[in-house]
Structure 1
Amino acid sequence: MHRKLLPLALMYANDGEPIEGRTRLQKMVFLMQKELKQRDQSGVVGLEYDFIPYDYGPFSKELYDDLDAMIDQEFVEDTEEPLHSGKVKYIYEIEDDGEDLVDSEAETWDDVDAIMQLAQEIKEKYNDVLLSELIEYVYSEYPEYAEKSVY
């Protein structure tokens, strides 16, 4: 099982509801990974992203690299939404090939059910909250990741 399953599972959850923003996706994958470790899921070996403290809390370059690869492989679609600030917000959605990959993983790995259930819980809880609330929650639970924050 590959760590790419974490962001794919999040995008797959809630009937493929989009995830708005790179920062939100980073925080949700981070929380999912932390929760899997707390639950001591034995099959999560190889699923870890290396997160470091950064501008808005935990950040993983590996996650960005995996996202780029999944977009190139047409597992994930990213749509750019211009913001008033002149910046761009990325909206991530799982593609049919990404759903097929998740489904095939579910057939071969016992732990995928637990991962999919957790993805559902995380997405239901954090996908629709204000980004500032999500960041504040992550900072309160994991203050060591707020040390380099610009937020």
Structure 2
Amino acid sequence: MDLLKIFAVLYLIKRYCEETGKSEIKGKTSLHKLLFLSKIEGWLEESIPYFEFRPYYYGPYSFELEDIIDIMLFYDLIVKEKTDYGYIYKLTDDGHKVVKKLEKHLNLENEYYVKVIKKAIDMTIKRYKNFSIKDIMDYVYEKYSDFAPEYYDCD
């Protein structure tokens, strides 16, 4: 289990909620795109253990992220709720506790990685917090066209 990746997702949800004043993030697509942007525009170097993205149906996609979401749901670190427009994701009380504990624990062994990942996520959230998911998707498809759906053979 990659604790740095779990930390990154929990931290992203936490910071997104803090910055937007919301209690949730809408949809997996938002998670995928924001983590993708934090990697690409946060200038995370290749040596940083982070998510790998590939072109897919809705643009940049990480199979690792899907696994991490499943793990976090299983351990009740996040909840997934169905709404009229799709799913939302929220940190649970345990999720809030774990993100703090992981940060403290990971800082002992990987202080540099934690610092760089937090900086990349913070920068991404500040830049895109007022974008709708459609605006983020349009931006990603235009700027990173190699990841746009029309460039991927989905068969």
TM-score surpassing 0.5? yes
Query: Does the aligned pair in 1 maintain the 2:59–2:147 contact within 8 Å?
Result: yes
Structure 1 gap ranges (5+): 84-88
Instruction: Rate the CA distance shift 1:126–1:149 in 2: closer, same or farther, 3 A.
Output: farther
1:78 counterpart SS class: strand
Number of equivalenced pairs: 141
Determine the structure 1 residue equivalent to 2:32: 26
1:76 is displaced (CA, Å) by 0.7
- The one of 39, 45, 48 equivalent to 1:40 is 45
Query: 2:81 maps to what in 1?
Result: 79
Q: Deviations over 1:48-72 (max 9, x none)?
A: x221111211011221121011011
Match of 1:57 in 2: 59
AA of the residue aligned to 1:80? K
Moved over 4 A (4+): none
1:90 to 87, 109, 112: 87
Q: Secondary structure at the match of 2:4?
A: coil
1:2-44 per-residue CA deviation (whole Å, 9 max, x = no partner) reads 21222111111143831101111110111112234x25386x2
Q: Deviations over 1:72-114 (max 9, x none)?
A: 101111111024xxxxx11011112222222122223123244
| Residue 93 to residue 56, structure 1, CA distance change in 2 (3 Å) | same
Gaps of 5+ in 2: none
Report what 1:124 is aligned to. Answer: 126
CA contact 2:39–2:120 (8 Å) conserved in 1:
no
Bigger fraction of residues in helix: 2
SS in 2 for 1:91: strand
Aligned to 2:71: 69
- Which amino acid in structure 2 is aligned with residue 104 of structure 1? K
| Alpha-carbon separation, structure 2, partners of 1:133 and 1:120 | 19
Residue number among 8, 25, 40 corresponding to 2:10 in the alignment: 8
CA RMSD of aligned residues (A): 2.4
- Aligned residue number for residue 152 of structure 2: 148
In structure 2, how many angstroms separate the alpha carbons of the residues matched to 1:91 and 1:148? 27
Q: TM-score, normalised by structure 1?
A: 0.79
Q: 1:127 to 1:64 in 2, by over 3 A?
A: farther
Quote the residue 1:86 is aligned against: none
Superposition deviation, residue 117 in structure 1: 3.7
TM norm structure 2 = 0.77
Distance 1:92 1:149, change over 3 A: farther
Letter in 1 for 2:123: E
